[in-house]
Homo-oligomer: A and B are copies of this chain.
Amino acid sequence: VRVDVHFAPAVVTAADMHGRVVVVIDVLRASTTMAVALHNGARNIIPCESSDEVVVRAKSFERRDVLLAGERRMVAIPGFDLGNSPREMTPAVVGGKTILLTTTNGTGALLATQGAREVVVASYVNFSAVLSMLRAATRGDADIAIICAGKDRTFALEDATCAGHFVRGIKRRRDSVVLGDGAQAALLLDRRYAQDLGSLFNDAEHARALANAGFGDDLQVCAAVDSCPVIPIYADRQVVRLGSERER
Q: Give A contacts to B, CB under 8 Å.
A: 5-8, 10-11, 13, 151, 153-157, 160, 180-182, 184-185, 188-189, 192, 203-206
Contacts and interface: CB of A to CB of B under 8 A. Distances in A.
Contacts of A185: 155, 157, 160, 185, 189
A153 to B, nearest CB: 5
Contact of A157 (B156, B160, B184): B184
A194 B233 CA distance: 40
A206 B182 CA distance: 12
A204 B183 CA distance: 11
B180 A205 contact: yes
Nearest to A5: B155
Given A181-B205, A185-B160, A203-B184, A154 B10 contact: no
Contacts of A180: 205
Nearest to A179: B203
Residue in A7, A151, A156, A185 with the greatest tally of chain B CB atoms within 10 Å: A185
14 contacts: A7-B8, A7-B155, A8-B11, A11-B155, A154-B181, A154-B182, A155-B185, A157-B184, A157-B185, A180-B205, A181-B203, A181-B204, A185-B185, A188-B189
Nearest to A206: B181
A63 to B, nearest CB: 40
A181 to B, nearest CB: 4
